[in-house]
Structure formats: C-alpha cells, structure tokens
Amino acid sequence: MLNNRAKLAAQLGLMLAFWSILSLILFFVGETTINARTGVHAHENSPRTIQFAGLEWEVKSGSGLGPGPNEWSDSEESVWVDSEGQLHLKIRQIEGVWHAAEASTTTCTKYGMHRFYLIGRVDLLDKNVVAAPFLYKDDQHEIDIEFAKWGQDNPSNNGQYVVQPYSKTENIEKFLITLNGTHSTHYINWQASSIEFKSFHGHSPEPATAGHLIHEWLYTGEDNPSETECMKIHINLWLFQGNPPTNSQEVEIIVAGVDTPHYVYLPIVQKPDPFAPWITLMATGSNVSGEVGPAQYCTSDYKVALYAKTDIWYVQPSVTSSDISINSNCTWQSSANAWDELAAHLVTKDFSQPSTIGGPPVPSCPPIEKTDPDVMATACFQ
C-alpha cells in the first residue's frame, strides 16, 4: 500500500514538473510571437526598434490606443528605414483593419532645433488622415506640428502649431499649407523662454527665399515644457477618430531626415554610396564623444573634425593635434576647450581642417559648409 502511494506521488510530481516546464516555454515563446493578422508584437514589453537620424527609435504597436484611437502596427511594411536612410510611415489595411504608424526616440531630447525634412503632399491628405512630427512627454507636455483636415471636406486651415493644452486659444496657431511639390521642411526650435515654429518649401535649414516660407509662429507662453521633462521626438501618421481614408487607399509619408540638438541631417549629393553617412555628438564638460555610420565609414579612410564656438569657431582639441580617429566599433572620443556650441564633421582622411572659421558675426552651425565634397555629415551640439 505504501509503495503504491509512493509511486502515485512520484507520478504526480513528474506531471507537475512537466506542466511547469511547458508553461515556461509557452510564456517565453509568447513574448516574441508576432500576430500574423496585425503584424504587431503580441506583447508590449519587446517593442521593435529602428535606427534613424543617428538615434534609436521605438515603433508603436497596440490596439485601441490614442491618438484616434487607432490600431498601431510595428510591421516592417508599416514603419521602415530604406537604403538611403529615409524613414517611411504608412497607414495600411491588414486583413480588413486599418493600422496607423508611429516612431519615437528612446532617449530624451533637449532644448534646441528639431527640424523635419518631409517628402509627401501633407497639404493633400485625406480628410481622415493626420501627419505630425512632435515633441512629447505626456498630454500636458507636448509641442506639435500637425497637418490634417480633421474630418472636414474643405477646411480653411490644414496645418497647425500647438503647445499643449490646446484648449487655450493662445496655445494654437492654425494656417493653410499649399505645397508646390513633395518636399517641405518644418521645425520646432525649442528654447527655455520660447518655441519657434516654421514651415517652408524645399529641404534646407531655413527658407531659401522669402517666397519659400509657408508659415511661422513664435510662442512665448507659460506652457512651454521644461527641458527636465524628458520630451521625446515622435513622428506619426494616423486616422482621425479611427475613421478609415475616404478613398480606402493606403497613405505614406517619407521623412528624409531630422535635425536634433545632437544630430544634423545633411543630404549627400553626388556620392556613389546609397547609404547616407551620419555622425552623432554628445558632450559633458570637456569630454566629447559620438558615433558614425554606416559601418563603411568606420575605417581609416575617414576621421572626425571637431570645432568649438566661442567668439569664432576653433578647431579641437588643438591646432597641432586636430585629427580624431574613428574606432573599429564606429565610436570616437575627444576633448574640447571652453565652448558655447560644438560641431563634429565626418570627413575624409585627407581633409585639411581650417584652424579657425569666421568672425563676428559668427556663422551658425555647421562651420564647414556641406557643399565641401570632403564633408560627409555634420552634428551640432548647443
């Protein structure tokens, strides 16, 4: 009798152990499973990330989430970076369900210029489609550029700049945008005492002529978020109130590049390599570092030219020792003397750096023009 009981207990113990192991296996498999219908992760604790504009971005996924609310897909057919380094966002239908698209940086941004180089007719979006580059922590700490008709057939305005909360009339500036082509630039220059918004035709740091300007607005109100709020950079393409496009067609916008306080996008002209070079720049006191990419630029054929601005731009770390090599892991390090701004250039190995640049008025970053054929990419730091 005792032997039978012992055998039964042993069998029960083996069965419990089997089911415990099976449960663990199913749990971990479930954590990485992608839903075949929606193309999104089944669990939100393993978001898809991409590299764009020198930063890591998280791709949004989930069901019934705002704004909208919408269904959000992190599929590579909804959000991706192409061979030219451009970010694509697409609203698309997945097995009868419309899905929006969004990407946001995984790290906080800071005061400074946030410039978005868009490709696409944001002035001709379907009345249910919204396109928006913005800075965001939560619904009370948000700075928006939005292009939308908000469900209306013929609205008088289809663009707006917003500092949340939008319910305050002084926190929103509406305007009409009519593009002459597919390329437009829009920026948020976020500073401690003001936020400058600007939109214009073409891709350039500022409007090429007065005629290129579409709209601008300077906000100096009380709802300007503090830099300590950990604002992140977002770009999304979504459906107003979750309603599908009236023509039932997919919608796509392309972000050719983004300027941030730590990275400046410079279109590469007449370069045989289709993968756009980039460089990042971080600084703490006199310690300066960053990364370059793609990997083909992490060789001895290239170097970093670093400049610090005070009264003029000075080559760093010194005139007699200015070449900064790129490590095999694509990182670089240096030191810099007292500075108000920093600029790092990814340049060819034979590039001869001017020891100083400019004089009153001091040129804005970059100190070396992007038209120089030896300058591959530039990052600025304020």
pTM, rounded to two decimals: 0.65
Domain borders along the chain are: 1-32, 49-259, 278-381
pLDDT < 50: residue spans in the chain: 1-2, 22, 24-44, 268-274
Contact criterion met (CB below 8 Å) for 88 and 252: yes
Provide the pLDDT for residue 275.
Answer: 57
* DSSP per-residue codes, 15-74: HHHHHHHHHHHHHHHHHH-B-TTT-SBSSTTS--EEEETTEEEEEP-EEEETTTTEEE--
The CATH code belonging to domain 278-381 is 2.60.40
Backbone torsions φ then ψ of 209, nearest 5 degrees: -145, 170
pLDDT of residue 38: 33
DSSP annotation string for 300-342:
TTEEEEEEEESSSEEEESBTTB--BPPPTTSEEEEE--S-SEE
pLDDT score, position 310: 84
Q: How far apart are CA 307 and CA 365, in angstroms?
A: 10
Question: What's the pLDDT score for residue 238?
Answer: 98
Give dist(CA 107, CA 99) in Å, integer: 25
Question: Which DSSP state fits 352?
Answer: -
> What CATH number matches the domain at 49-259, 2.40.10.10, 3.40.50.2300, 2.60.120.200, 3.40.50.170?
2.60.120.200
pLDDT for res 362: 73
Cβ atoms of residues 49 and 57 within 8 Å: yes
